[in-house]
Chains A and B, each alone.
Chain A
Amino acid sequence: MRVGIVCPYSFDVPGGVQGHIRDLAETLAGLGHRVSVLAPAHDEDALPAYVVSAGRAVPVPYNGSVARLAFGPLSAARVRRWLAAGDFDVLHVHEPLSPSLSLLAVLCARGPVVATFHTAMTRSRAMAAAQNVLQLVLERITARIAVSALARRVQVEHLDGGAVEIPNGVAVAAFRDAVALPDLPGPCGPGHGGTVGFLGRYTEPRKGFPVLLEAFDRLAARRPGVRLLVAGRGDRQSALAQLPAARHDQVTFLGMVSDEAKARMLRSVDVYVAPNTGGESFGMILTEAMAAGAPVVASDLDAFRRVLDGGAAGVLFPTGDAAALDAALGALLDDPAGRAELAARAGRAVAAYDWPLVAGRVLEVYATAIEAVSGRVVDTALPLDLDVV
């Protein structure tokens, strides 16, 4: 199949949507499909071979944060050129309702269009006002994919349509086979030692880092040698202010990490903690920790409960409850057999999120979109011989 994928955000800046598109494109290419990705980019030399640059993106405040987008007549001309050169069987756009390359591509497209909605954005006033214009965009989309139940609910309630729910994929092998950081996770026995991990922007309240710090303070009081490994962006000094100075050297900050360093970090912990207090629609980091074989302790959010198979593939604690988190961590760090059992169950649960499987689901949606435009039935089992069906 010839697949054209449009990424609305700069490809040379790390991000959830960019990572998703990179993994999807590489998995599809590995299955024998011809994939081209169109994305804004600053440094064209740093791009993988399958990415076509649509030029620089400009920062635009959108949906509560700043997105770097490319939008305008010049971008539109580039989109049209790319579409004409690619002659795609199916066009796959991501986040098509922001003013972006994705929206331009939907408006320029003539064939089947599949759209993936990542964020669980709520209906904005601008969206309500532009309902008629929005309908013109939406009806050019043949099939919609939502990456989470929450994102799908937004489709149903606010955009007057359904969506096929396909979860975010995770490159299981890359996490499973990563090598732990030197000297980690270190000794961990009954009543002493152990390494607890956290990844995320720890100064953002919704990530729940203060809950983890409070639990860690209690845990460290009765558990000598326990360590906290933190990766992500933020201000270390203000984050640590909550913790007594005596415990500061038990906390290690890795700063921003690359994908490879993230995998190594997740392989270096005895327990991974996701203390988020809300705002998560899927829980990508949980599937990554599960793939890395790290036992997971997470707050009891809807999204986390689903990924953790209702609590079978990880320990859930009441959201925001530091005492409960402390108890869960203490119990798990004291119980190597329990950790191994949890990691094994997580490994089985995360198989459903492995990219080859997820890409197969996406291909089925591509086939359905092609069918809904051409009227002929498409077999996904024959990736290279679409035309003979």
Chain B
Amino acid sequence: MPDMLYTAVLLAVLVLALYLAATTARVNRLHARAGAAARALDAHLVRRAAAAAVLAERLPAPLLYAAARGALDGAPGDREAAENALTRQLRAVAARCDVGEPVRAASRRVAVARQVHTDLVRDALAVRRLRPVRLLRLAQQHALPAYFDIDDPALAGAPAPVPVGAGAAGVRTATAQATGD
């Protein structure tokens, strides 16, 4: 009888250990991913600001240049506001003229990186809320992942490759894509 009890206890401990190991690995994986996504988002924001600064010097567009500098120099606290200001300036310029593929591509990459980052932060925060993770503080070695809350940075789509004959139709295409999200 004591043998069976031993076996049962041993089995329970083993199952618990396996579960904890798997959960710890899950917590670590999700936090590592959220962190990597945050670094990638940061890199794409810097690229967008750099592309915007180049465009601002070429045009020239002083307000856009100021917004790009603001985004590059932004203090950690008000970075989101600085990025939103840059998005607004880029949209204002895009309404007047073609911003060029580098800025459009950089804006698209920011949009995708932000979407993926948001999803991965949500996954990491969800796993932190699990009871065993909270009780055993499995996530305490990881900083709390934070959302990066900015407006959708998407600009108008690429202009139609065919020269636009009927101007009105072309303008409609561009605005429909800009608001198409």
List residues of A whose CB falls within 8 A of some B CB: 135, 138-139, 142-144, 160-165, 306, 309-310, 312-313, 341, 344-345, 347-349, 351-352, 357, 361, 364-365, 367-369, 371-375, 377
Q: Give the contacting residue for A347; candidates B36, B109, B126, B162; CB below 8 A.
A: B162
List residues of B whose CB falls within 8 A of some A CB: 26, 30, 33, 35-37, 39-40, 43-44, 108-109, 111-113, 115-120, 122-123, 126-127, 157-158, 160-162, 164-166, 169-170, 172-173, 176-177, 180-181
**A143 in contact with B112 (CB, 8 Å):** yes
Q: Give the contacting residue for A348; candidates B44, B122, B164; CB below 8 A.
A: B164
A344 to B163 alpha-carbon distance, docked (Å): 11
Q: Give the contacting residue for B37; candidates A313, A347, A364, A372; CB below 8 A.
A: A372
Q: Which residues of B contact A164 (CB under 8 A)?
A: 111-112, 115-116
Q: How far is the CB of A144 from chain B (nearest CB, A)?
A: 7
**A142 in contact with B40 (CB, 8 Å):** no
**B169 in contact with A365 (CB, 8 Å):** no
**A368 in contact with B173 (CB, 8 Å):** no
A160 to B121 alpha-carbon distance, docked (Å): 12
Q: Which residues of B contact A368 (CB under 8 A)?
A: 40, 109, 112-113, 116
A348 to B165 alpha-carbon distance, docked (Å): 10
**B116 in contact with A372 (CB, 8 Å):** yes
A142 to B39 alpha-carbon distance, docked (Å): 15
Q: Which residues of A contact B37 (CB under 8 A)?
A: 371-372
Q: Which residues of B contact A377 (CB under 8 A)?
A: 40, 43-44
**A373 in contact with B36 (CB, 8 Å):** yes
A interface, by DSSP: helix, strand, loop or mixed? helix
**B173 in contact with A372 (CB, 8 Å):** no
Q: A373-B36, A374-B36, A377-B43 are in contact. Are A135 and B160 (CB under 8 A)?
A: no
Q: Which residues of B contact A347 (CB under 8 A)?
A: 162
Q: List 25 A-B contacts (CB under 8 A).
A: A139-B30, A139-B127, A142-B120, A143-B115, A160-B122, A309-B173, A312-B173, A341-B166, A345-B169, A348-B160, A348-B169, A351-B160, A352-B158, A352-B173, A364-B109, A367-B109, A371-B36, A371-B39, A371-B40, A372-B36, A372-B116, A372-B117, A375-B36, A375-B39, A377-B44
Q: How far is the CB of A227 from chain B (nearest CB, A)?
A: 30
A160 to B35 alpha-carbon distance, docked (Å): 20
Closest B residue to A160 by CB, please name it.
Answer: B122
Q: Which residues of B contact A374 (CB under 8 A)?
A: 36
Q: How far is the CB of A389 from chain B (nearest CB, A)?
A: 11
Q: Give the contacting residue for B115; candidates A163, A310, A313, A373; CB below 8 A.
A: A163
Q: Which residues of A contact B35 (CB under 8 A)?
A: 375
**A348 in contact with B162 (CB, 8 Å):** yes
Q: How far is the CB of B48 from chain A (nearest CB, A)?
A: 12
**A371 in contact with B113 (CB, 8 Å):** yes
Q: Which residues of A contact B116 (CB under 8 A)?
A: 142-143, 164, 365, 368-369, 372
Q: Which residues of B contact A348 (CB under 8 A)?
A: 160, 162, 164, 169-170, 173
Q: Give the contacting residue for B172; candidates A139, A312, A371; CB below 8 A.
A: A312
Q: Which residues of B contact A349 (CB under 8 A)?
A: 160, 173
Q: A135-B126, A142-B33 are in contact. Are A162 and B166 (CB under 8 A)?
A: no
**B157 in contact with A352 (CB, 8 Å):** yes
**A310 in contact with B180 (CB, 8 Å):** no
**A309 in contact with B176 (CB, 8 Å):** yes
**B161 in contact with A361 (CB, 8 Å):** no
Q: How far is the CB of A139 from chain B (nearest CB, A)?
A: 4
